[in-house]
Amino acid sequence: MPLLRATAVAFLQCDMALFLIIVGLHGAVAVVTMSQVHVQSGATVTIPCHYTLQYRDHVKYWCWGYIWYTCSTLAQSGSLTAGGDRVAITDDPSGGVFTVTLRDLQVGDSASYWCGVEGGSAAYLYLEVTEDLPGLWVEDSTVSGEEGASLSVRCLSGDSTGGGVRKWCRSGDWQSCLAGNSSRASDRSTVLTIDNGTGTLTVMMRRLERKDTGWYWCAAGDLQIPVHITVTQRMTTVTTKKNMLVYTTDDLSRIVNSGHEDDGRQPCCGEPASAKSTLAVLRKTGVALVFLVCTAMAVWKIWQNRRARIAAEQRA
């Protein structure tokens, strides 16, 4: 068995060299995905395939076969799939990623696969389906958390990982990987902890931000397993005199920018009707008094001018 595996690896290296030559002639590598995934029989797995944005309008495909340029297409974006209901492609052009969902996997599905873009290149992946527990798996393949909070992912591994280095990577970006082996590695928001007894890698993501949403990889040796992280908007509770209101952070931002906040009163309701009628009477009375005073002053002024004119005529 080790000899067979070594022979397969040697052939794979030769074919990959040929593949790189073809890609070099065709253009830069346009697609990135994981290299080797183990899953248990009957499971469902979603494979993220990342591509450069210049290929956002190109057809995406998933094909089966040891050699890229002779592989058989099982699914492609915008059309029916040869793989039936068990294979589905979803494209996200704005994020530069398409996902291939494989359902009800069986041992016979173990094979070499490619995810690629027409007019670009393809990325190789070997999928192995086992009856027993796979070499690497996660408790939850989709995890969510609220912005500002924390979440954790547990990556469990079997004997087939060979004690390889455990890593946590942003999917499609090997430069983002944090590695840890019987130690503690961290950046400003992510901490890796390894259980020396079981080899379990626990990833703690702290101070979550909305931009942390996306695909990640757990890696152990040559194996990877995908995990999707969703960071939801933080909800903030504001207590007023009359009500307890729940705002999102965007709601609070709009309140601050508008210069006021909700005090719990209904905007439709003003002063009582009795207060309104009293104010109306006072306003009308005030206007009438001002009018009378102005009229009296005008009459008095006219009368004074008339007296002065008569007196002047008499003196003349």
Torsion angle in degrees (nearest 10) through CA of 191, 195, 201, 203? -30
Question: Residue 183: helix, strand or coil by DSSP?
Answer: coil
According to CATH, the topology of domain 135-259 is Immunoglobulin-like (2.60.40)
Q: Check: CATH 3.30.460.10 for 1-133? A: no
Each residue's pLDDT expressed in tens, for the chain with a length of 316 residues = 443 344 443 444 444 444 444 444 344 558 999 999 999 999 999 999 999 999 999 999 999 999 998 999 999 998 766 667 899 999 999 999 999 999 999 999 999 999 999 988 899 999 999 999 898 999 899 999 999 999 999 999 876 555 688 899 999 887 888 887 544 556 667 888 888 778 888 999 999 999 999 999 999 888 999 999 999 988 766 655 555 555 565 655 555 455 544 444 444 444 445 544 555 555 667 656 766 777 778 777 787 777 777 777 777 6
Q: Residue 178: which residues within 8 A CB-CB, separation 6 or more? A: 167, 168, 169, 185, 186, 187, 190, 192
Q: Alpha-carbon distance 213 to 234, whole Å?
A: 14
Per residue in 251-293, pLDDT (tens digit) is 555 554 555 444 444 444 444 455 445 555 556 676 567 667 7
For the purposes of burial, counting CB atoms within 10 Å of the CB of 200, is it exposed (0-12), middle (13-18) or buried (19 or more)? middle
Residue ranges, CATH 2.60.40.10, the chain: 1-133, 135-259
Instruction: For the chain, report the end-to-end CA distance as a whole number of angstroms.
Output: 143
H/E element holding 305?
A: helix 273-315
Q: What is the pTM of this model?
A: 0.65
